Amino acid sequence: MNKTNDIVEQRRKKLEDLKRKNINLFPNDFIVTSTVKDVVNIIENRADSITESASGGFVLAGRMMAINRFGKTAFIRFRDRSGQLQAYIRKDRVGDEAFYLFKQLDIGDFIGIKGGMFKTKTGEWTLLANEIKLVCKAIRPLPEKFHGLKDPEKRYRQRYLDLIMNSNVREIFVKRSKIIQEIRTFLLKRDFLEVETPMMQPIPGGAEATPFKTYHNALGMNLFLRIAPELYLKRLVIGGFEKVFELNRSFRNEGVSTRHNPEFTMLEFYQAYATYNDLMDLTEEMLRSAAINVTGSAVITYQGNSIDLGRKWRRMPLLTAMEEIGGIDPGLLDDRQKLLDFASSKGIPLTQKICQRPLADRLGKIIAKLFDILVEPKLIQPTYITGYPVEISPLSRKSDNDPTLTDRFELFIAGHEIANGFSELNDPDDQKERFLQQTADREAGDEEAHYMDEDYIKALEYGMPPAAGEGIGIDRLAMIFTDSASIREVILFPHMKREKTDTTII
Where along the sequence are the contacts to RNA (CB under 7 A)?
1-7, 10, 14, 66-73, 75, 86, 88, 90-92, 106-107, 118, 120-122, 124, 126, 141, 143-154, 156, 255, 257-258, 348-349, 351-353, 373, 485-486, 488, 494, 496-500
Minimum CB separation of residue 467 from RNA in Å reads 34
Q: What secondary structure, in 3-state letters, does 66-84 show?
A: EEEEECCEEEEEEEECCEE
Minimum CB separation of residue 188 from RNA in Å reads 35
Strand partners, 474: none
Cβ-based nearer residue to RNA, 143 or 211? 143
- As a whole number of angstroms, the distance between CA 301 and CA 202 comes to 42
Cβ-based nearer residue to RNA, 443 or 499? 499
- As a whole number of angstroms, the distance between CA 132 and CA 112 comes to 6
Q: What secondary structure, in 3-state letters, does 276-302 show?
A: HHHHHHHHHHHHHHHHHHHHCCCEEEE
Minimum CB separation of residue 488 from RNA in Å reads 5
- As a whole number of angstroms, the distance between CA 392 and CA 384 comes to 17
Minimum CB separation of residue 506 from RNA in Å reads 16
- As a whole number of angstroms, the distance between CA 321 and CA 379 comes to 10
Sign of the CA dihedral running 281, 283, 286, 289: negative
CA distances, 62 to each of 36, 82, 107, 431 (Å): 9, 10, 11, 58
Minimum CB separation of residue 341 from RNA in Å reads 17
Minimum CB separation of residue 125 from RNA in Å reads 9
Cβ-based nearer residue to RNA, 96 or 196? 96
Q: How many CB atoms within 10 Å of residue 103?
A: 13
Cβ-based nearer residue to RNA, 107 or 292? 107
Cβ-based nearer residue to RNA, 14 or 249? 14
Cβ-based nearer residue to RNA, 157 or 288? 157
- As a whole number of angstroms, the distance between CA 344 and CA 120 comes to 71
473 secondary structure, DSSP code: E
Cβ-based nearer residue to RNA, 247 or 490? 490
Nearest CA-CA partner of 321 in 392, 402, 375: 375
Cβ-based nearer residue to RNA, 118 or 422? 118
Minimum CB separation of residue 348 from RNA in Å reads 7
Nearest CA-CA partner of 475 in 164, 156, 262: 262
- Please say whether the beta carbons of 234 and 424 come within 8 A: yes
Cα 194 from chain centre: 19
Cβ-based nearer residue to RNA, 352 or 503? 352
Minimum CB separation of residue 274 from RNA in Å reads 35
Minimum CB separation of residue 27 from RNA in Å reads 21
